[in-house]
Amino acid sequence: MPDERVFPGPSPAQADTLNAWRELFESKHSQDFKALKGTDCLEQPIFPFVVDYRDIDQDDVLSLYFNETPVDTIELANEVLRTMVAEYEVSDIRCILRPLALPAERTKQISSLRMRNRGKIVSSIVRIKDVGPRLGYLQEALYVCARCESREFIKQKIARERKRPEGPCQICYEKAMEAFEGKVPYGVYERLRSSMKLTAEGSFYKDIQYLSVSDIDDSSGQPIWVVIDDEYVDAYNIGDTIRINGVVQIDPVPDRNFTKDTRRILQIHAFSIEGL
């Protein structure tokens, strides 16, 4: 039986989602890309690409995946935006999807959120009680093989242990398989695996910030932390009233070893913010 090779690439669901985003951007926002050509990338390196949620909801593919796996679906949209920015020859500007105008059924009180809401999209009108410091978050780590200099990008999660490649460099591993006739000794395998080194040059960092917020009609209630990023960082102050659109997530209890402590707290990762 011949060996089957698996070639990296998007899954069918990811391919459908990428195509759906491109069709939406081309049909509804082609003028936005043309307008970007005159943007000063030094003054505005990040461009918030505003999309009406109703346009997303009217597309069967986007409506399904955006509501089921919003974080991954938004990341696919940002990949399409990066590609289309290059096609329109707009250099050094990073577009980020910012869905706005969520329907009323998405509106939730902060005090009503529970663990069962994890992974759900919510829209909440809140008052800011505290603003945390600006932080740098390693979003995508670049590992380079010390032997052959092949590269591998590994996506990271906020407030989690840094992920490494699951195994050694595939090029070096295939060479070892040939040299050892398909039976690579454990020691050789471990040396190959340790050859994958993290490099700061090429890894992707982004600015994030934590906002402590509460319901506007219940300032004495238990607040929740909201994670904001990119152009939203340093844009808000204590006492501001805003609408947060985002995904409910869970995070370890602060000052605890999350690898052993099973307790978690809720937070919201904002994908868009509307001023009120």
Look up the CATH number of the domain holding residue 66: 3.30.1640.10
150 and 235 fall within a common domain: no
119 and 212 fall within a common domain: yes
The tokens describing 177, both together, are: 């398989």
- pLDDT score recorded for residue 8: 55
**For range 240-265, the mean pLDDT:** 83
18 and 59 fall within a common domain: yes
How many other β-carbons are positioned within 10 Å of the β-carbon of residue 96? 21
- pLDDT score recorded for residue 257: 66
**Is 68's pLDDT higher than 70?**
yes
Pairing of strands 264-275, 121-131: unpaired
Percent of the chain predicted with pLDDT > 70: 91
- pLDDT score recorded for residue 3: 41
- The boundaries of the domain holding residue 124 are 104-135+208-275
The tokens describing 112, both together, are: 């009503």
46 and 148 fall within a common domain: no
16 and 120 fall within a common domain: no
Confidence band, pLDDT 50/70/90 cuts, at residue 256: low
- Residue 5 is assigned to a structural domain of this protein: no
174 and 255 fall within a common domain: no
- Residue 67 CB-half CA count within 13 A: 15
The tokens describing 236, both together, are: 């808000």
Confidence band, pLDDT 50/70/90 cuts, at residue 2: very low
- Residue 20 is assigned to a structural domain of this protein: yes
**For range 151-156, the mean pLDDT:** 88
Confidence band, pLDDT 50/70/90 cuts, at residue 182: confident
**Is 228's pLDDT higher than 90?**
yes
- What average pLDDT is seen over the chain? 87
What is the count of structural domains for the chain?
3
263 and 217 fall within a common domain: yes
- Measured in residues, the chain has a length of 276
* 226 closest CA partner among 238, 240, 242, 210: 210
Last residue of a domain, one of 165, 186, 204: 204
Of 18-32, 115-129, 212-226, the poorest mean pLDDT is in: 212-226
- Residue 6 is assigned to a structural domain of this protein: no
CB 88 within 8 A of CB 36: yes
**Interval 108-137: pLDDT, tens:** 999 999 999 999 999 999 999 999 999 988
